[in-house]
């Protein structure tokens, strides 16, 4: 039997080369031949769906504050690139053009001239609750997306979240084949990320995250979401759970796969999709 091609998604774009979730990182991912692009989304204070990972801009810009408390114009005025690599080719845009909206990312990908995937991670907790999902779906619908085939022209779109509530919300509106439940171990880095968003109780945050991951695993055990999104460490630490999900036919999209040895191991297990900061390296290693 011929082995199916392993798809390699660019994690927040080609984010080893350029700052994550920026125009430059996304355009580099297209140039690298990535099979798909993964992005994270939040809402600006004036309701625009923007591509950004953290709940605040502190780590990735020349400013501070929560994404949800800034207008799109204010966000567009920040430098999201220099912390990583300020040497951006002219064709990848100026420093003040690096933050993009979800609509702008789709438009960049429409120009790829080939079939490509877009994996949208919905970031929670959000100060806007499910308005984040509503705004995302409305924006995609405006661009021509329909839930049935989850496509906009050459772009196939899937949706992901660590939040089981978000996944359940999406499953009520989108076929399960397009929805991914993300799972990971609760670690200090994740707790710190949420503390930056304004939560003050470290123990409380840890408990909420642990409960969310328990519910996420239960969802995947149920066989409802068709996409499973564990991290590499989770795959290695929970072999029986992973074997069960594979046996019931889940499609795996594992993150963040930057080591060729991890890529070889995962493909050997039957993992169909890998997410990487260095998609060109992983594709070359796999001969994909």
Tell me the pLDDT band of 269, cut-offs 50, 70 and 90: very high
42 noted as active-site residue: no
In a domain, 223, yes or no: yes
Look at residue 197 in the predicted model and tell me its pLDDT: 67
In a domain, 17, yes or no: yes
**Residue 259: DSSP 8-state:** S
The CATH number for 223's domain is 3.20.20.190
In a domain, 123, yes or no: yes
In a domain, 2, yes or no: no
Catalytic residue among 42, 52, 53, 124: 53
In a domain, 205, yes or no: yes
Backbone dihedral angles phi then psi of residue 137, each to the nearest 5 degrees: -65, -35
Mention every residue, 6+ apart, whose C-beta is less than 8 A from residue 21: 12, 13, 15, 39, 40, 51, 52, 53, 60, 80, 99, 100
Q: Rounded mean pLDDT of 37-45? A: 98
In a domain, 38, yes or no: yes
Catalytic residue among 11, 124, 178, 285: 11
pLDDT in tens, 74-113: 999 999 999 999 999 999 999 889 999 999 999 999 999 9
**Residue 103: DSSP 8-state:** H
Residue 168 has pLDDT above 50, yes or no: yes
CA distances from 62 to 49, 75, 84, 207 (A): 21, 11, 12, 32
The H or E element containing residue 67 is none
Q: Which domain holds residue 61?
A: 7-286
**Residue 22: DSSP 8-state:** B
Report the alpha-carbon distance of residue 139 to residue 54 in Å, rounded. 21
Sign of the dihedral defined by the CA atoms of residues 125, 25, 155, 7, in that order: negative
In a domain, 258, yes or no: yes
Q: Rounded mean pLDDT of 141-153? A: 98
Residue 18 has pLDDT above 50, yes or no: yes
In a domain, 1, yes or no: no
| Total number of domains in the chain | 1
The H or E element containing residue 170 is helix 164-171
11 noted as active-site residue: yes
């Amino acid at each position: 039997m011929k082995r199916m091609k392993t798809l390699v998604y660019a994690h927040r774009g080609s984010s080893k080369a350029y700052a994550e979730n920026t125009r430059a990182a996304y355009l580099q991912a297209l140039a690298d031949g990535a099979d798909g692009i993964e992005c994270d989304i939040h809402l600006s204070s004036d309701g625009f769906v923007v591509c950004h990972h953290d709940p605040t801009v502190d780590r990735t810009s020349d400013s501070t504050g929560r994404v949800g408390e800034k207008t799109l114009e204010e966000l567009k005025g920040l430098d999201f690139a220099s912390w990583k690599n300020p040497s951006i080719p002219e064709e990848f845009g100026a420093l003040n053009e690096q933050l993009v909206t979800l609509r702008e990312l789709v438009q960049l990908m429409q120009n790829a001239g080939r079939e490509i995937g877009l994996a949208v991670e919905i970031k929670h907790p959000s100060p806007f609750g499910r308005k984040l999902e509503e705004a995302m779906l409305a924006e995609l619908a405006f661009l021509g997306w329909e839930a049935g085939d989850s496509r906009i022209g050459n772009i196939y779109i899937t949706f992901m979240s660590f939040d089981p509530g978000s996944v359940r919300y999406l499953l009520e509106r989108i076929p399960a084949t397009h929805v991914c439940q993300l799972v990971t171990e609760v670690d200090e880095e994740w707790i710190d990320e949420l503390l930056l968003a304004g939560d003050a109780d470290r123990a409380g945050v840890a408990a909420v995250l642990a409960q969310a991951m328990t519910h996420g695993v239960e969802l995947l055990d149920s066989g409802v979401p068709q996409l499973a999104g564990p991290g590499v460490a989770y795959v290695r630490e929970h072999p029986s759970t992973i074997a069960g999900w594979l046996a019931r036919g889940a499609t795996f999209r594992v993150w963040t796969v930057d080591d060729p040895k991890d890529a070889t191991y995962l493909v050997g297990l039957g993992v169909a999709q890998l997410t990487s900061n260095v998609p060109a390296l992983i594709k070359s290693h796999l001969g994909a």
